[in-house]
Amino acid sequence: MCSILSWVRPSLVSRTSARTCWAAPRTLTVRLYTTVSQDAAHSETNRAQNTLKRFWKTVGIDSRIDGIAVTLDKRALKTPSGHTLLLPENKRLAATLIANEWENQETLLKPHALPMTSVASRAIDTLHDEETRSEVQEALLNYLDTDTICFHHDDPEPLVKLQREHWDPLLQWARSTFEIEIHVHRSVLFHSQPERTRQVLNSVLTRMDPWEMAAMERVTYVTKSFLIALALVKRHLTAEQAALAAQVEVASQVERWGEVEDSHDVDYHDVRRQLGSAACLIANMP
């Protein structure tokens, strides 16, 4: 097996280009580079890290007794920490998308185009460890006090309208579903949510599996909102709905002043790639 992912960091803000693929898993073939021998695997891995050039010929999905592995030239992918990137049988969609990411790497590797690989690696490498998981939970809970959807403006009207449309129903869902109090603020200075709210939501995080936690972490960091992330992980919001809620202020600016080329349009797609990868990671297939 070759460890080819040591240069792929599970960044939550990397730019990505994953398309949802619902096709049945298959072996994918490519045109570039010859298959490397087992003895040369380590040196070829180093070459990939240094040159970011594609060196494998085939991408495949290998069903095993203990799960599903994505393979390059019949050798399983490994995570940055050296673990086999092994997915449960019900994560076949995620496995298909990871294989698709590697198939779509052409002459030069593009780490930003591996969103499914990075979020799955994050779940495997770090979120099974109790100490790391506890640190992640604490970091995510800290977003409650600065949650995007808890800071409302009274003007301009287009922004107020979008807040009512995307944020108010989400706040009501969180309050009723978890029986908690959530404060909404009109300024950004020295605010916090009730301690009981934090405790209840910490318990919710504790019950999440590593895949859900990896998705929760990614969406929280991308949207700057614990509550948007929670709604996506709990299947209350789709990736598109979560993106719309996260970009309320940007949408208001575009409505008033127009779109800035190579800025607003890039961010529009980037957010959806990130949130889409998280949504696909937690999707379970029978």
pLDDT one-digit tens code per residue, 36-82: 334 434 433 334 455 577 888 899 999 999 999 999 999 999 998 99
Distance of alpha carbon 187 from alpha carbon 189, whole angstroms: 6
Position 266 scores a pLDDT of 66
Provide the 10 A C-beta neighbour count for residue 77.
25
% residues pLDDT > 90 (the chain): 60
Q: Indicate the SS3 state at residue 273.
A: helix
How far is C-alpha 29 from the chain's CA centre? 26
Higher pLDDT, 186 or 202: 202
Residue whose entry in the numeric block shows the structure tokens 């240069």: 7
pLDDT average, residue stretch 156-170: 92
Residue whose entry in the numeric block shows the structure tokens 């060196």: 55
Q: Are 101 and 113 in contact (CB under 8 A)?
A: yes
Distance of alpha carbon 119 from alpha carbon 245, whole angstroms: 22
Q: Are 77 and 71 in contact (CB under 8 A)?
A: yes
3-state secondary structure 167-215: HHHHHHHHHHHHCCCCCCECCCCCCCCCHHHHHHHHHHHHCCCHHHHHH
pLDDT average, residue stretch 86-102: 95
Reported confidence tier of residue 2, pLDDT bands at 50, 70, 90? very low
Residue 260 DSSP class: P
CA distances from 172 to 146, 158, 210 (A): 18, 21, 27
Position 259 scores a pLDDT of 63
pLDDT average, residue stretch 144-167: 91
Position 264 scores a pLDDT of 62
Q: Does the N-terminal peptide bond of residue 10 adopt cis geometry, omega within 30 degrees of 0?
A: no
Distance of alpha carbon 265 from alpha carbon 254, whole angstroms: 10
Residue 185: phi and psi, rounded to 5, are -120, 155
Position 265 scores a pLDDT of 62
239-246 helix and 248-257 helix, angle to the nearest 10 degrees: 60
pLDDT average, residue stretch 197-205: 97
- Note the pLDDT tens digit of each residue in 221-270: 999 999 999 999 999 999 999 999 999 887 677 666 666 565 566 677 88
Mention every residue, 6+ apart, whose C-beta is less than 8 A from residue 253: none
For the cut 50, the answer to whether the pLDDT of residue 32 exceeds it is no
Sign (positive/negative) of CA torsion 206, 120, 90, 87?
A: negative
195-206 helix and 226-233 helix, angle to the nearest 10 degrees: 40
What token pair was written down for 68?
């599903």
pLDDT average, residue stretch 101-111: 83
What token pair was written down for 53?
């050039």
List the one residue out of 78, 90, 99 whose CA is nearest residue 25. Answer: 99
pTM for the model = 0.80
